[in-house]
Structure 1
Amino acid sequence: MVSCVPPKGEALWQADNAPRGTFMHKRILTCSILALATCLSAPAVMAQDGEASAEKPSDAVRGGDFDEIVVTGRAGGAELRKAEASFAVSTLNDEQLRLTNPVSAADTFKQVPGFWVESSGGEGSNNVRSRGIPTDGYSSVALQENSLSVQYDGGLGYLNADQSFRFDETIARVEAVRGGPASIFAPNAPGGVVNFITRKGTDEPGGLIKYTWGDYGENRVDAYYGQRIGNNWGVFVGGFYRASDGMRDMGFKASKGGQIRGTINYDDGRNSFMVDVKRIDDKVPFYLPVPLTYDANGKIADVPGFDSRNDTLAGPGTSNVAILREGAPYIFDLTEGSHTKLTQVSIEGTFQIDDTFAIQTRSRYKDADILRNAMFPTGNVQELSAYLAGVSPTVLAAFPGAVGVRAQYADGSGVLDADTNGNGLVVGGNLLSVSVPIEEAMTDNRLTAEFDAGGHHNAAIGMTYDATSYRFDRYMGTTLIDVKGNANRVDVVGVDAAGNVVGSLTDNGFQRYGSIYDRVGMNVHNLALYAGDEWQVTPALRLDFAARWERTRINGQVEQKTTVDLGNPATLADNNVLAGTGNYTKVDQSFDDWGWTLGANYQFAPQFGVFARYTDTFRLPSAGEYNGSPTRTDQSSVPIKMAEFGVKYGSGIFNLFATAFWTKFEGVRFTNYRFNEVTNQYDDPEVVVADTQTWGVELEALVRPAEFFDFALQATWQDPQYKGFTYTDSSGTIQDYDGNQLIRVPKLMIRAVPGVNLFNGRVRAEAEIEHYTKRYPDIANSQVLPAYTLVNLNARAQVTDNIAIGLNVQNLFNELGLTEGNPRAGSFNVGDSNSQYFLARPVFGRTVRLNASLSF
């Protein structure tokens, strides 16, 4: 990022180091514009920020960025090399991103040690954890775009931050900070912050057109063009469009749409200014668990007739279905998937007041309509005969004259039996639609100072304000489906002695209409004050400390619910339909807390240093916690304590970053949501308050013994445990899970990358070898998700100065690796650990992508 440079030695003031901010109200916007207008009136001194891209694929060597300047997670604005940072930070440059060609934001996280990433959900709504975080989604890891949060609360219910972000060629580089100062300079970021920094016209990127083909029906075009206008102005435009059948066979065009971004920026070396406008209109599928079983040796295996690596239960049979309710039916359109329509305007600038003081300001306004339609498999996978035996008493009692039950397809195409699809299995399927229109505005304004006093100081004091308004409308019907790729809806009917239908448990495949109903309106106001100082005490010793106070106010209303009978005597599916009453329960909550961090870095030599840091921080409750429970009184700030010690070393052939860490979350509220397949609704959730504690070590290393060969290694070992997790369950039994491993998080993660550089560096090829040890889908650790290893291939060749081609093969050996179990079975104890069949979400099977790009 181009930035302001005070005339002091080689200090480089980066614009990208500011935390996030927001604007919505006129007074906030006015303050930002006034600051930027002042910025443009200052004297000009030309400077560049050194954001140059490498020109050859070989420069994309992982970990070979020891001297790169970092701007994320900091108070001051002066130049700071990665080697001198007093916190754990990883960087991905332009060429690394082009080589690996990530499918989603979550895929970039995989290239950072310490992060456990579940990208098996597709391009949106994935889960990210680091250093013992006990929460899902992006609730404790901030996703930033140009140092400003994509969403202030990244874990808002059914609205993960990555649904409002798409990765494309407009991204120039990525910086990832784990733990440490992230939670002080970013909201909801105790686990870290990942900052996606975009291209600008003043960087003179020129232009690029790139076409990508994937063997799953993927056709995608990325393009951008940037140009400097005169000495100080630049313009940039870029984006992508693609259509795809999906990484699992959905039976229809699953992904379709794109993004466009336009930017105008000013930089005279002392002052900078940028306006960025982004539009997303894109729909992608959300992939969910699939049925699995065990082979004769007790290993996890495919169910007959179902390919767990490539199939999905969702498909045309569960698309465009009418879910009955009071009034007109709700038309559930699965082909919409997760559909994001978003318009975002961002303004940022830096104004150098004098040689000591500077103002940095960032503001963003977002207006989005986000629809999430997906088919969530639920309950136990059962043999048809067992299922019919279980429901038969209910059907026979409800319909006099019925002497037996039968399963038949809802579309009238036939009757099911024990051999249907080669497995004779059925399972529940929730057709869930969630609409979340959201309007959000953020502003962050910071005063920075660089001065000498007992050493050299880079200090900052700032304020972040956010205003978010959203609706949350949720409706669901629970179906019965068969088990095959693109499953079909199944009806269960009662028949008389002649085989005539006399009544039906289901209707059009629905076991229950209206099994979930929510209608919510919320307004959230967040205010944070922070200050920090990076104090260079001696040439070798630097101390930095910072503190943050934050308050969130949650106001809104949640419609009260009742059950209604739609009045069809021929079926039981419409007897208990959840609906709104027209009466609302108000929500009025306020929480605040403060945290601080203290770090030290000692540089024995330019390429060798050590650091230590202690952080006492927090996470405030989310408005999403009240979407379904407006009267809850159990929410409060969660105290978080973190410590880390790191060693950094670099030489011509060897780089090493090693960090030992400790993390403790205190008083976390764990909620057990379990979908009851008898009542076809969620049981009243159990809530347990407990702690978590994690010890661990992260490694990021690179060995380059020769120009033609290098070997990169990223590894994380950790021991994530629940502490004090003891409670009495609904049956009166005391459950003690103290010391159990955190759900879904492996103890060991290894990513080894051997690579070769050929033809004077014009060709780079590498293998990514990922290994993850066993995990558990529940807090009881009753079911094992086995260890697995994936092998991926990446290659890129610079054919001419302007033409490049690339190859990406994911999961080369088509490994079956499970990332999560069945969350709808409950997070405390899944309860079906000894079942022959179960639900879990695997990684994608082998996929191949080819790309060709023309730069100019």
Structure 2
Amino acid sequence: MRFYTGFAAMLLATTAATPALATAADGDNGTAADDVTGEQAAEPAAPSTKRAFTTGVAKGRDLLDTAISASVIDDHDLSQLSVSSIAGIMQNIPGIRSETSDIDGFSAITIRGLPLSADGSKFLQLQEDGLPVLEFGDIHFAGIDQFLRADLTLAQVQAIRGGSASTFASNSPGGLINFISRTGQHAGGMLQVSSGVGHDLKRIDFAYGSPLGDGWRFHVGGFYRQGEGPRAIGYDGFRGGQIKANVTKEFEGGYIRIYGKFMDDRQPNYSLYPITLSGTDENPVVGNLPGNAIKDDAYGSPLTARYPGVDQNNNPTSYDARNGLRGITSSLGLEAQFDIGEWTVTNRFRFADISGEYNESIAMVTLPAPVLAGLFGGPGATLSYAAGPNAGQPINDARLLAYSIAINAQLNALDNVTNDLRASRVWDLGKGVLTTTGGVYTSAQSIDMYWNFANAINDIAGGGRNAPVNLFDAGGTALTDNGVNAYGFGFAVPLSTYHTRYDLDYSITAPYGSINWQIGKLAIGASVRWDKGTVDGNVFSSAFPGRNGQAAIDVNGDGVISDAETRVAILPLTQPAAVDYDYDYLSYSTGVNYRFADSLSAFARYSRGGRANAERILGIGSLNPASGALIDPTVAFSIVKQAEAGVKFRKDNLSAFVTGFWASTDDRNFQIGADAAGQVVVIEVNRTYSAKGIEFEGEWRKGPFAITVGATFTDASIDDDKIDTSFNGNTPRHIPDLAFFARPTVELKNVTFGAVINGTTESYAQDSNQLIQPGYVLVSPFVQFRPTERLTVAVNAFNVLDELAVVQLAAATIPPSGIANAQVMNGRTVTASLRYTF
């Protein structure tokens, strides 16, 4: 990546010198948990309903004094959730639609009815300590949550929906979610060991922080885990962990903080899985294939995990799908705040070296063995097992086999460097107070990745026992190598489809500013941001004209070119497509807040924000491969417009926030969908969308009893599809009318117990609005027992009723075969833990 290292070095040097200028502490760093409860050595205290909010705003304020819709989940709440994934946590925030199997990486996240046209989080920015984890949330095969983990170092999660998120961060027109770390304000630590009950997954977490005297304090923590996990895959799918540390020096009027993180973690990919699909489109019935259990199995096996292929230099190599979703991050950050005269200056800087790997296997076609043999081998074709306990055994019956696609993405470098410098001042203006803020944000993001695909045949034994199957033509010639039929796509599309390497650099400079005038109970504010980006690099793909994408290569190195080895997708290494273009867009937001009383306020806001599109738009129809320019410059970014109005009430131990919203956007994208036969297809998207709805969040506490509830009603629509007008007026896929959560708890002296309830009504499986995707209600109880002052024994049971919760149905209608693919949440998953605080 072409990082401006000179700038980084200068920044570190000048920021390190700033404590001499500090005169008065503002306390609003917007990132680390300096004002967050629960860092004491004891168990996390019950949260206060009066919380200062610092994410996506100019200055931290009480939520009743801000014209935004926002939520906070603190460490007390986090300890009660029976999920560990980032996307799973976000299911407990109103307005957020988070599709996950409780793994970090293969998820789709959106907000306020904005489209889930692809995986990742296009319109919603995820931050760690006030800076983005990745600049773009929907990079192919590299979702932000693949490089972010929740552990005991996490103090608080702050979420802002709409509002000023579009002007206080780049590429965040829908909202911001900030994962905030502990900083050691209070002396104490925690050590926790946990284990799956009924499944193999062991984990150890630790965290410790303390003041050191003379204004110094530190915090360090992390986790390590290993095991097969809650689904049967036949190997340790979870392996790895992270460690984080920070050191803070406080001065009169400011502070300086240095922090770092190292993460190397692997997780299995609980992706699409073959199912039976019967009933009607309005009332489908999801069932298991013989010998399979979709809630308990994943489409992986030690027998199919390793397979040969070619690397990004077209040389033979091998791939190991047991690496799953792997995220590797080494980051170093520096944050400082100080006063210069009447101005408060804050600077945040972070460099992150990010890489990893993405592995997925999907059944493209699931058929009885004789039908599959005839389809791919012709009349008289035969089948036999290629490995496993039945190796060499012929398959003469009609058992179900799958023609699968194995996907491997080598995430060579997703490095980024970000810096956010801002200055604020409070002025007396007439009978009111004027707060002004100005700043400049700069970032550089690399996208260096290579995609490899292979088609293979395997059985569907389930339980982590899927085995590869060889195919022979009528003359006995092998059409597969250990089950592999093509080193690329061998079915329905050209062999080299999506066989691509990206080597790109994105640079962003974004000056921004805001004003807020408060007079009595009235506050009026506005903010603006101008994002200017440059993109350069290369794309290697045979999709562009005049480029060869296929060759015959001895992939397995046995000295013979087999039939399968005549079908090898390669990169046109000497013919890269250039990428060289600029873009810019303006974002703005304005709002008004009126505090009628200490317990009641109301607000209204209108916002316009932009979101630059990353590598997804760089295809044959949008990129001029000779000049690197976009054929249509408007493809470079999408605009989101939002209007919202809400009422906030908080008195004693009762709070209730209600917000009505309207949002619209355009989207140029590609989404993985399914046709009427259940076949996985890639659909080009060029649409405008709109959504309106209501968000509610409330909390009530009385003695030992407490309940937190949230709900979102959404009415979303595809307004104008420029490719297929038959979609106009339809509801976007996977957007339910109602999504909700509730968290009732009882907290006694030695015992805390309760449940987390998450639910959603039905939605449409695809944009065609034929097949209904069932809704669900998941009940996940927990109990925490404290036999002594510092010891806590806890049991969390996710989905205790073992509900079938469908995340996505990969079909547009019930297929004639009655077999489709689906992604579901885990079934009943019980975890026990022992925590010691000191």
State TM-score, norm by structure 2.
0.89
Structural mapping, 1:561-710, within 5 Å: 561=542, 562-566=549-553, 572-582=563-573, 583-626=575-618, 630-631=623-624, 633-634=631-632, 635-666=635-666, 668-671=667-670, 687-704=684-701, 706-710=702-706
1:26 alignment partner in structure 2: 6
| Matching residue within 348, 354, 379 for 1:362 | 348
CA distance in 2, matches of 1:336, 1:530: 41
Closer, same or farther: CA 417–795 of 1 in aligned 2, 3 Å = farther
| Matching residue within 712, 718, 739 for 2:714 | 718
> What's the offset of the Cα at 1:60?
6.5
In the alignment, is the contact (CA less than 8 A) between 2:314 and 2:570 conserved in 1? Answer: no
2:80 alignment partner in structure 1: 99
Q: Does 1:277 align with 2:275?
A: no
| Matching residue within 395, 406, 409 for 2:385 | 409
Q: Which amino acid aligns with 2:631?
A: T
In the alignment, is the contact (CA less than 8 A) between 1:332 and 1:433 conserved in 2? Answer: no
In the alignment, is the contact (CA less than 8 A) between 2:359 and 2:406 conserved in 1? Answer: no
Closer, same or farther: CA 58–855 of 1 in aligned 2, 3 Å = closer
CA distance in 2, matches of 1:70, 1:373: 38
Closer, same or farther: CA 613–248 of 1 in aligned 2, 3 Å = same
CA distance in 2, matches of 1:784, 1:677: 13
> What's the offset of the Cα at 1:294?
3.6
State TM-score, norm by structure 1.
0.87
> What's the offset of the Cα at 1:83?
2.5
Structural mapping, 1:425-824, within 5 Å: 425-454=401-430, 455-485=432-462, 486=464, 487-496=466-475, 501=476, 503-515=477-489, 516-538=498-520, 540-561=521-542, 562-566=549-553, 572-582=563-573, 583-626=575-618, 630-631=623-624, 633-634=631-632, 635-666=635-666, 668-671=667-670, 687-704=684-701, 706-725=702-721, 727=723, 736-759=726-749, 762-822=750-810
> What's the offset of the Cα at 1:651?
2.4
How many residues align? The count is 791
SS at match of 1:152: coil
93-102 vs 695-704, greater mean Cα deviation = 93-102
In the alignment, is the contact (CA less than 8 A) between 1:23 and 1:29 conserved in 2? Answer: no
Q: Deviations over 1:580-637 (max 9, x none)?
A: 2222111101111001101111111111111111112221221343278753634232
1:110 alignment partner in structure 2: 91
| Matching residue within 203, 206, 210 for 1:227 | 210
CA distance in 2, matches of 1:390, 1:677: 19
CA distance in 2, matches of 1:247, 1:303: 19
> What's the offset of the Cα at 1:558?
1.6
CA distance in 2, matches of 1:55, 1:279: 25
Closer, same or farther: CA 688–365 of 1 in aligned 2, 3 Å = closer
SS at match of 1:245: strand
In the alignment, is the contact (CA less than 8 A) between 2:24 and 2:338 conserved in 1? Answer: no
> What's the offset of the Cα at 1:767?
1.6
607-616 vs 782-791, greater mean Cα deviation = 782-791
| Matching residue within 18, 41, 49 for 1:38 | 18
RMSD (Å), alpha carbons: 2.8
In the alignment, is the contact (CA less than 8 A) between 1:158 and 1:434 conserved in 2? Answer: no
| Matching residue within 83, 88, 107 for 2:64 | 83
In the alignment, is the contact (CA less than 8 A) between 1:212 and 1:220 conserved in 2? Answer: yes
| Matching residue within 285, 307, 315 for 2:301 | 315
1:53 alignment partner in structure 2: 38
Closer, same or farther: CA 37–434 of 1 in aligned 2, 3 Å = same
CA distance in 2, matches of 1:688, 1:341: 31
Closer, same or farther: CA 614–674 of 1 in aligned 2, 3 Å = closer
CA distance in 1, matches of 2:396, 2:67: 64
> What's the offset of the Cα at 1:85?
2.2
> What's the offset of the Cα at 1:47?
7.5
SS at match of 1:386: helix
> What's the offset of the Cα at 1:525?
0.6
Closer, same or farther: CA 564–413 of 1 in aligned 2, 3 Å = same
In the alignment, is the contact (CA less than 8 A) between 2:458 and 2:469 conserved in 1? Answer: yes
Structural mapping, 1:125-144, within 5 Å: 125-135=106-116, 136-144=119-127
| Matching residue within 802, 827, 835 for 1:845 | 827
Q: Deviations over 1:699-727 (max 9, x none)?
A: 111233x3132332211110111012253
> What's the offset of the Cα at 1:381?
2.2
> What's the offset of the Cα at 1:222?
0.8
Q: Deviations over 1:653-686 (max 9, x none)?
A: 53211111000113x22435579999x9x98x65
Closer, same or farther: CA 50–514 of 1 in aligned 2, 3 Å = closer
> What's the offset of the Cα at 1:329?
2.6
Q: Deviations over 1:490-531 (max 9, x none)?
A: 2221235xxxx2x13333211211335222211111111110
Structural mapping, 1:331-410, within 5 Å: 331-354=318-341, 356-375=342-361, 377-392=362-377, 395-396=378-379, 404-410=380-386
In the alignment, is the contact (CA less than 8 A) between 1:797 and 1:805 conserved in 2? Answer: yes
Closer, same or farther: CA 168–627 of 1 in aligned 2, 3 Å = farther
In the alignment, is the contact (CA less than 8 A) between 2:407 and 2:451 conserved in 1? Answer: no
Closer, same or farther: CA 769–83 of 1 in aligned 2, 3 Å = same
40-49 vs 834-843, greater mean Cα deviation = 40-49
CA distance in 1, matches of 2:661, 2:251: 41
> What's the offset of the Cα at 1:348?
0.3
| Matching residue within 195, 204, 210 for 1:213 | 195
In the alignment, is the contact (CA less than 8 A) between 1:792 and 1:809 conserved in 2? Answer: yes
Please list every run of 5 or more consecutive structure 2 residues that lacks an aligned counterpart in the other structure. 29-33, 490-497, 543-548, 625-629
CA distance in 2, matches of 1:57, 1:747: 41
SS at match of 2:734: coil
Q: Which amino acid aligns with 1:270?
A: G
| Matching residue within 150, 161, 169 for 1:186 | 169
CA distance in 2, matches of 1:239, 1:766: 27
- Quote the sequence identity (%): 25
Q: Deviations over 1:730-782 (max 9, x none)?
A: xxxxx5111211112211112122222223xx422112222211122321123
Q: Deviations over 1:188-235 (max 9, x none)?
A: 11221111111113x024111111111321111111221211130112
In the alignment, is the contact (CA less than 8 A) between 1:777 and 1:820 conserved in 2? Answer: yes
SS at match of 2:173: coil
Q: Which amino acid aligns with 2:735?
A: V
Q: Which amino acid aligns with 1:224?
A: A
Closer, same or farther: CA 677–416 of 1 in aligned 2, 3 Å = farther
Q: Does 1:151 align with 2:134?
A: yes
> What's the offset of the Cα at 1:833?
4.2
Q: Which amino acid aligns with 2:710?
A: Q
Q: Which amino acid aligns with 1:193?
A: L
Closer, same or farther: CA 702–148 of 1 in aligned 2, 3 Å = same
In the alignment, is the contact (CA less than 8 A) between 1:60 and 1:95 conserved in 2? Answer: yes
CA distance in 2, matches of 1:815, 1:350: 49
CA distance in 1, matches of 2:455, 2:619: 21
> What's the offset of the Cα at 1:41?
4.6
